[in-house]
Structure 1
Amino acid sequence: MGLWELFRVFAQIGLLSIGGGYAIIPFIQELVVLQEGWISQQTFMDIITISQMTPGPLAVNTSTWVGLQIAGMPGAIAATFGCVLSGVILSLGMHQFFHRFHQSDYMLETLQVLRSSSLGLIVSAAATLLLGIFLRTNAISLAAKIDWIAIAVFAGSLIVSRKWKLNPMLIMVLAGMVGGLVAY
């Protein structure tokens, strides 16, 4: 697998990333983990976790980390450039199109359908992440091992976030410490 192949796959991801970062997670997983087999499911879950903690758009961060994992710094550059380039070109074209047809009822209906589709993709990404974290699998399985510690940390983070409005970075640091203590 060369840098051109990495660029091509992430250009495809960037081109089809309707709905933003969370909506594109299942698509990245499908291409990189399941079809190409470049990284494992566990590595992909780790990359998603790291991508959420680093500043910047999730799809771009994920592209960078996957590229880095596969081919080092040149891979990170190729994957990131592929993901961003197609999005920039598509955005410029869409801007011209929307500027021309912004009053059209058909355009408003089309955007409503795209919003609904994006919501479905985001829910799919959430299900993928939850299954991967809580059940240590990417498919619903009765034989899957439930990770009760992950569920407890998730619930605790949710409660602390909603009740005491702590800084999200502090919650992530505390959750990481809990995970480190449990693993130790």
Structure 2
Amino acid sequence: MLWNLFITFFIVGFVSFGGGYAIIPVIEHEALRHGWMTSQQLIDIIAIAGMSPGPIATNTAVFIGFEAAGLWGAIISAIAITLPSVLIVFLIATFFYKINDMPIVQSAFYGLRPVITALILFAAFSFSRTNGLLSISWDAAVGIGLFALGLFALWKLKWHPALIILIAGVVGVVVY
């Protein structure tokens, strides 16, 4: 079990371009494929991981590792998902100043941006569908309303994300 956690999250760590939210579909696929948890458990874990300090992908890996194999599973998963980043950053930092201005490098970054955006949107769509927000119901209406108000508060009112999370939690307690 520990070896499977290490290999899985090591590979996930190597393909984690675009940040934690962009890699959530991959983590979801692997966690469900290995049977480490159900889809609903994963949604709950990602919600907690998103509110916890630190990168969401690492937090999610730690929670999945803990669920699958206890404390050692959490430790192995954390090491495995972060080790590729450490290795890659070390290598890139060593050579980046030499290749940064090369047109092929700039082109690769421009090519990655739309795909990363698509991965993030897919994760949002997938969670919306799993949580019933794409259906017509009271829960969906409240969820869509909270989404819209949260986006408005972030974008236009420039509220701190922690305040929006706190307010959304209170609304959830009151409404549900």
TM-score range, shorter chain: 0.7 to 0.9
How far residue 167 of structure 1 moved from its aligned partner, in angstroms, is 3.1
**Runs of at least 5 residues in structure 1 that lack an aligned partner in the other structure:** 137-143
Q: Distance in 2 between matches of 1:155 and 1:134?
A: 16
Q: Distance in 1 between matches of 2:21 and 2:47?
A: 12
In structure 2, what residue type is equivalent to 1:109?
S
Q: What are the superposed Cα offsets for residues 20-68 of structure 1, whole Å, 9 maximum, x if unpaired?
A: 11110111111112x2121111111111111111111111111111112
State the TM-score, normalized to the length of structure 2: 0.86
State the TM-score, normalized to the length of structure 1: 0.82
**Runs of at least 5 residues in structure 2 that lack an aligned partner in the other structure:** none
Q: Residues 65 and 98 (structure 1 numbering): CA distance in 2 closer, same or farther, change over 3 Å?
A: same
Q: What are the superposed Cα offsets for residues 46-96 of structure 1, whole Å, 9 maximum, x if unpaired?
A: 111111111111111111111122222211111111000111112222333
Q: Alignment RMSD, CA only?
A: 2.1
Runs of 4+ in 1 over 6 A off after TM superposition: none
Q: Distance in 2 between matches of 1:47 and 1:79?
A: 14
Q: Residues 159 and 3 (structure 1 numbering): CA distance in 2 closer, same or farther, change over 3 Å?
A: same
Matched residue count: 174
Q: Distance in 1 between matches of 2:118 and 2:156?
A: 28
The reply to whether residue 106 of structure 1 matches residue 99 of structure 2 is no
1:63 matched residue in structure 2: 61
Q: Residues 133 and 102 (structure 1 numbering): CA distance in 2 closer, same or farther, change over 3 Å?
A: same
Over the matched positions of the two proteins, sequence identity in percent amounts to 35
How far residue 161 of structure 1 moved from its aligned partner, in angstroms, is 3.9
In structure 1, what residue type is equivalent to 2:165?
M
